[in-house]
Amino acid sequence: MKEDAESMVEELNLIICGLSGQGIILTERLLVVALSQEGKNVLSADVPPWTHRNAITYCYIRTGEELYSPRIPEGGANLIVSFEPLVALQVAAIYGSRGTLVITNDYPIETRGLSRDGLRDMSGRVAHKYPTMEQILGYLKNLEITKVKTINGTDVSFQETGSARALNMVMLGAAYATKMIPVKQEILEEEIIQNTPPGTGEMNLRAFKAGMKL
């Protein structure tokens, strides 16, 4: 059954985050256009990575009657969707609060200097180890952020499409399933079909629908 946008959250303060190259900006654009087509007052802004590929990047998406800035204040996000678990912790530590729902992919990605073996300093010595998923959840709990959902988004992307490239659509589906995004499903699905890279629309739609079931 298709969702009625009127039954969903009207004031959305959403942060989509992860690492550069994971399709965050595309996901932002799809959502913003769909929300605009729904007739919502929407503001958005993206925060690009400062340096290299696989650096943290995120975007703000806000809907509501009175919006004066696309930027979400500290502690003001009601939904954080992260494509990478450590990024979820880093972003939630700034923008999360007791009422924030955090949805995160459970697959860690090795970045420059940071691997599953640990964080290396300039000399190559291991200084800090990448936290386990259990540790990340514990840190979030210490921040009084307890509404956390972990999903195997990377695995689902591989199952549906044969690669991790559709992870962003899996995560978008999981976010949409919360009923916090005030747009009709058919509008968002049409946007996915029409405005993802040529030849990938149906594949991305499969990934989106699979994400909704997680």
Q: Which of 110-114, 148-152, 177-181 has the lowest mean pLDDT?
A: 110-114
Q: What pLDDT score does 158 carry?
A: 98
d(CA 139, CA 69): 30
| Parallel/antiparallel/unpaired status of strands 12-19 and 56-63 | antiparallel
- Count Cβ neighbours within 10 Å for each residue of 89-124 and write b for 16 or more, e otherwise: bbbbeebbeeebbbbbbebbbebeebeeeeeeeeee
Checking if the pLDDT of 34 tops 80, the result is yes
Q: 3-state SS of the chain: helix, strand, coil percent to 5?
A: 35, 20, 40
Percentage above 90 pLDDT, the chain: 78
Specify the pLDDT at position 118.
54
Domain ranges for the chain: 5-212
Q: What is the pTM (predicted TM-score) of this model? A: 0.90
pLDDT for 48 equals 78
Third-level CATH fold of 5-212: Pyruvate-ferredoxin Oxidoreductase; domain 3 (3.40.920)
Q: pLDDT by residue (tens digit) across 48-106?
A: 766 666 788 999 999 998 899 999 999 999 999 999 999 999 999 999 999 999 999 99
Residue 8: its pLDDT value, please?
60
Confidence of residue 203 (pLDDT cuts 50, 70, 90): very high
